[in-house]
Every structure is written in structure tokens, then in C-alpha cells.
Structure 1
Amino acid sequence: MVQFRTLSIVIPVYNEARTIHQILDLLRELRLVNDITKEIILVDDCSSDQSVTTIEAYAAKYPEMGLRLLRHQVNKGKGAALHTGIREATGDYVIIQDADLEYDPEEYNLLIKPVLRGFADVVYGSRFMGGNPHRILFFWHSIGNAVLTFLSNACTDLNLTDMETCYKLFRRDIVQGLKLEEQRFGFEPEVTAKVARVPNVRIYEVGISYYGRTYAEGKKIGWRDGVRAIYCIVKYGLLGA
């Protein structure tokens, strides 16, 4: 039987005061299979809005959640926030959760299933497989995601359908054992390339829903991040840096 008692949920936060309470509501109500407990770690990347005070007020209102708030004194980037949260995680497994509402925490149980069955060490939640809801948004973003996933697969010899997904579930010792460097959105191709080189690692993928945001709704990633992702795919995947 796989030992899985606690799931560490790492949430990078940057100017998410408008929606952070909603994602925390979802996590508070979430019930994980097998009575797995939740360790929720929020990493504020020097937000300039009311994100910190909103989180602190929420933590005071619901102390039973045991929210852990870590803060960067200067803005470093999403990847850096993830590094901080992953380093501080103590659960058996670690999952990444964005602070917006693009992904549904209820679907953690989908990612957990192949772990509990003893098949997987790492599970990616794919927005592009299965019959789950998927908001229709930007054509060129979908092409960009497909190109980045293809290039990543070519360098890692994996057959993922969604390398850029937020929902990545890792066995804690595996992800904490990686030397991660990328400070911004290059985290996705870097962690994928490095986890693919872990000896005998078992990587699975399950279909998830996706409730994407427009830029007007707060989406932050842009074309420069796509260019950086290609650089990271070559550096960490092809050259093995």
C-alpha cells in the first residue's frame, strides 16, 4: 500500500486579492480520498495589492485550515515562489495550485488515484485529454502549448499531452531532490525535463477541466514566456543542464 497521508498544496500568489478567497473556499471544502490531510502553503511573491491581508484575514477566520503564508520581500517570479513552497513542504506528495480559478481542486482526487493504486510517482493533469469541461479561448495559445509540449517531448522522450499544465503532482522526495533554477514560467519545462531524468520514475497523466482566464480577467503569461520556455526546453531537456 502506498503511504499517502498528507498532500502539500503549494500556491504561488501575486496580486490575487480578488480571487484568493475563492480558491481557499474550494480547498476548505475539499475532501480528499482515503482521508488524506491537506497542508496548504501560500507563497506571496511581493504582491502590491491586498493579497497578504486577505490571506491573513482568511487564516484568522479559519484557523483549523492551518494555512502557512510565506512571503518574498521582492518580486522574484512564479518559479521562485514555487521553489520556496516546495522546499517548505512536508507532505508525502506535493501538488501545485494557481491562486486563480482556472483549475478545480476537486480534481486532485483524479491525480491521486494512480498514486494510490501504486502506479505513479508523478502525475500531470492534462487540459487536452478526456471529456472534462475546457473553456474555449485563444487559438494561438493552444498552438503555443502544443508546440511547447511537442518540443519538450522530443527532448525528454515522454509523450505528454500538456507539459505546461499547472496541475503537477510529485512525490515529495523526488521534487525536493531536483535542483530547480527557473524563476518565472520556465519552471514548467525545467521541472518536466529534470523529473524525466529521475531513474525509474513513473509519470502518469490524467484528464482535468480547465476554466481559463482572459488577460482582462488577470491572465499573466505572454509571448516572452513562450520564448523563454523554448530556451528552457533546449537547456534542460536537450542539453541536460
Structure 2
Amino acid sequence: MNTNPHTDIQIEINRNTNDLTMEGNKYSVLLPTYNERDNLPIIVTMLAKTFDENKIDYEIIIIDDNSPDGTLEVAKRLQQIYGEKRIILRPRAGKLGLGTAYIHGIKNATGNFVIIMDADMSHHPKNIPDFIRKQREKDYDIVTGSRYIDGGGVYGWDLRRKLISRGANFVADVLLNPGVSDLTGSFRLYKTPVLQRIIDATISKGYVFQMEMMVRAKQFGFRVGEVPITFVDRVFGESKLGSGEIVAYAKGLYTLFTTV
């Protein structure tokens, strides 16, 4: 029979960390979409399965930018299947950028935590319980998924794209010293007020938005934890990363370096 009170306390801590059903917590997933007709039903199904199996309260906010492939019609069907409490539709008139999609989405979030991720299945919902456990370890303000720590990785990219991503993160780390290993990642968990404050201060658009949010997080003194993730290149559709985004990234990096 164990009579060590410290052991009993540690067991209780571990039990609470692994139990994801803490009463009162709700997680709002922001899913910006543009031409994700094929991917959206799969990612929503995977998200619902993950949340339901772990007894996690959630909502999925789909922010579609008037996709010409009929993504919004698919989203409406998913809302019929899962219900308006779980699937929130907040479409916009046109393709207005990733940063403004988050701004639009958080206005409709009712959770005390917000999860941002891609809708193209590059991010696997199975990692979400790990994000939640990590957040509870030290009451982190932000938990970010990293491809570049032990246990993380990238699959489906050619050498050129891997070099671009690694190079972008290396240069940003040297210039900005953000304190995270994957500055350009877009799979993260935030406390809702923390995300709101960072968004209010962020001026970048597009893919640079993710980078600036981590720089602002350090500027404001928010605590950030990291979880290893495996990034898988999209199965359906085309990548939205082009030469224009690369140029915008370089300009955004220079702006942050000279102003923050």
C-alpha cells in the first residue's frame, strides 16, 4: 500500500493533465477556406471525431472567401449534419487574406481557447489533445505546433520547398529571435484573449501574419509552448504558396526587423 502523500499528489496531477474534459473549457477552431471542397468534409469529420472521443466541447468556424468550387455549399451540408452549435458559417465576399480571416473568425468565437489550423489536412486533428495537455502543463498562453523539434517533420514536399521553409525560419530566427522553432507554422492553440490582443497589434497580411503573431507574442511577454507535429502536403487542390507569397514574406520580415 502506498502511503507517500507526494506520490498520491503526482498521480492526481498526471490524471488531471491527461483528462481533457475539464468543465467550462471550450475550443473554437478557425478554418479559413478557399477552394477546399474536397478537403473540408474530411477535416471536419476528423475534428469532430477527435473532440467527441476526448469529450472536448468545441465549435468549428468556417470562414470561406467566396470559393468558386462550391466550398460554402459543402460547409452548409456539414452544418446540417453536425448542427449549428458545432459548425458556424461565417463566409466573406471575396479572397481577403489569412490575417483578416482570423480577425473575422475570432469575432464569432465563443470558446475560451481558439485553435487555428489549415483546412487542407496538412495539420492532423489527432495532435489537438497534445496541444491541450501541453497548455495545461504550465498554463501556456499559446501552444504552437513545430515541424522542427524532435518528433516533428514534413512529408510530401520537394527539396526546393523544404529549403525555402527551413531558410525562412532560420533567417527569421536570427533576425527576430522569436523564441520558437517554427515561426511560419499555422497550427496553434491560443487563449482567446491572448489571440485577440495579438491580432489587434498585428499589421501583416497573408502568410507573414503567422510570423508576426509569434513576434508580438514575445513582445507582450506571452508564454509559448511547443508540440511536435508532422506536416503533410495537401492531398486535394493546389498549394497557395507562390512567388508572390515568398516576396511578401521577405518584405514582412524586413518590416518586423526594423519596427518591432
Normalising by the residue count of structure 2, what TM-score does the alignment of the two structures yield? 0.83
Q: CA RMSD in A?
A: 2.4
Query: How far 1:236 moved relative to its partner?
Result: 2.7
Amino acid at match of 2:92: H
Of 218, 223, 229, the residue aligned with 1:208 is 229
Report Cα offsets for 1:34-57 as digits up to 9, x if no partner: 743112111011211110110101
Report Cα offsets for 1:159-217 as digits up to 9, x if no partner: 42211112111111111012233332221112122112113x11111101221137x84
Q: Bigger shift: 160-169 or 129-138?
A: 129-138
Q: Distance in 1 between matches of 2:36 and 2:225?
A: 30
Query: How far 1:111 moved relative to its partner?
Result: 1.4
1:78 corresponding residue in structure 2: 98
| Pair 139,181 (structure 1): closer, same or farther in 2 beyond 3 Å | same
Query: How far 1:157 moved relative to its partner?
Result: 2.2
Query: How far 1:66 moved relative to its partner?
Result: 2.2
| Pair 39,173 (structure 1): closer, same or farther in 2 beyond 3 Å | same
1:171 corresponding residue in structure 2: 191
Match of 1:30, SS?
Answer: helix
Query: How far 1:78 moved relative to its partner?
Result: 2.1
Greater C-alpha Rg? 2
Decide which structure has greater helix share. 2
Amino acid at match of 2:45: D
Contact (CA 8 Å) 1:130, 1:208: kept in 2 or not? no
1:222 corresponding residue in structure 2: 242
| Pair 133,193 (structure 1): closer, same or farther in 2 beyond 3 Å | closer
Q: Does 1:120 align with 2:140?
A: yes
Contact (CA 8 Å) 1:32, 1:108: kept in 2 or not? no
Q: Bigger shift: 20-29 or 182-191?
A: 182-191
Of 68, 71, 77, the residue aligned with 1:48 is 68
Query: How far 1:133 moved relative to its partner?
Result: 6.1
Amino acid at match of 1:121: D
Identity level (%): 23
1:232 corresponding residue in structure 2: 252
Report Cα offsets for 1:11-36 as digits up to 9, x if no partner: 00101111110111101111379743
Amino acid at match of 2:132: I
Query: How far 1:131 moved relative to its partner?
Result: 2.9
Number of residues of Structure 1 aligned to a counterpart in Structure 2: 238
Query: How far 1:9 moved relative to its partner?
Result: 0.5
Of 158, 171, 181, the residue aligned with 1:151 is 171
Q: Distance in 2 between matches of 1:127 and 1:211?
A: 10
Normalising by the residue count of structure 1, what TM-score does the alignment of the two structures yield? 0.89
1:27 corresponding residue in structure 2: 47
Q: Does 1:134 align with 2:154?
A: yes
Match of 1:85, SS?
Answer: helix
Q: Distance in 1 between matches of 2:241 and 2:112?
A: 30
Q: Distance in 2 between matches of 1:32 and 1:156?
A: 39
Q: How does 1:189-204 map to 2 (within 5 A)?
A: 189-199=211-221, 201-204=222-225
Report Cα offsets for 1:54-94 as digits up to 9, x if no partner: 01011112217521010111221222212211232221211
Contact (CA 8 Å) 1:102, 1:213: kept in 2 or not? yes
Contact (CA 8 Å) 2:35, 2:237: kept in 1 or not? no
Match of 2:232, SS?
Answer: coil
Q: Distance in 2 between matches of 1:192 and 1:231?
A: 17
